[in-house]
Amino acid sequence: MAVEHLELHQRGDALSMLLDGINHIAIISKDAGKLGEFYRTVFDAIVGPTRGHGPGETMTNIKIGPSTELNVFVISGNTEADRQTPMWGRGRIDHIGLAAASPEAFKTIQARLVEAGASDGTVNDFGAVLSMFFRDPDGLEGEVLVPKG
């Protein structure tokens, strides 16, 4: 990509990008209620109401951060949530990485993930960040990261 196509602009002394993170990630689930309870219990997420989204579809919004949601779809007859494949064989999006709010939040999440049976609690040191992988109730792999202090 040519430099002139990078839409960066100057604000005061800080160079900034035109985007401010991710608004939502749309996922297919077998059970939005179970998934919502998992994210509420482990991450203190806010689970919105489930509503119709078309014939045979429902959508539930799960707020997982200040400006990020999971849009969870349950679609009658869709078996995509049943398909479990190893890392790097999952298609265009392999897993989601969630940013812990602080080192203390990372430790709390670690304990809750282990208690939920969603992780063995192993922490990976990737240089600038610490990372921990988990699987949600639908088998979707996630990762929680926190900058090393």
- Tell me what pLDDT residue 15 has: 66
* Angstrom distance (rounded) from CA 134 to CA 43: 12
pTM here is 0.84
Cα 40–chain centre separation: 13
139: Cβ–Cβ under 8 A, 6 or more apart, which residues? 81, 84
Mean pLDDT for all residues in the chain: 88
H/E stretch holding 90 reads none
Residue 86 Rama label (left phi>0; alpha psi -120 to 50; beta): beta
pLDDT in tens, 50-83: 999 999 999 999 999 999 999 999 999 988 888 7
The pLDDT-based confidence of 113 (bands split at 50, 70, 90) is very high
With tokens 């429902």, the residue in question is 58
Burial class (CB in 10 A: 0-12, 13-18, 19+), 43: buried
* Angstrom distance (rounded) from CA 131 to CA 73: 27
**What average pLDDT does this structure show over 111-131?**
98
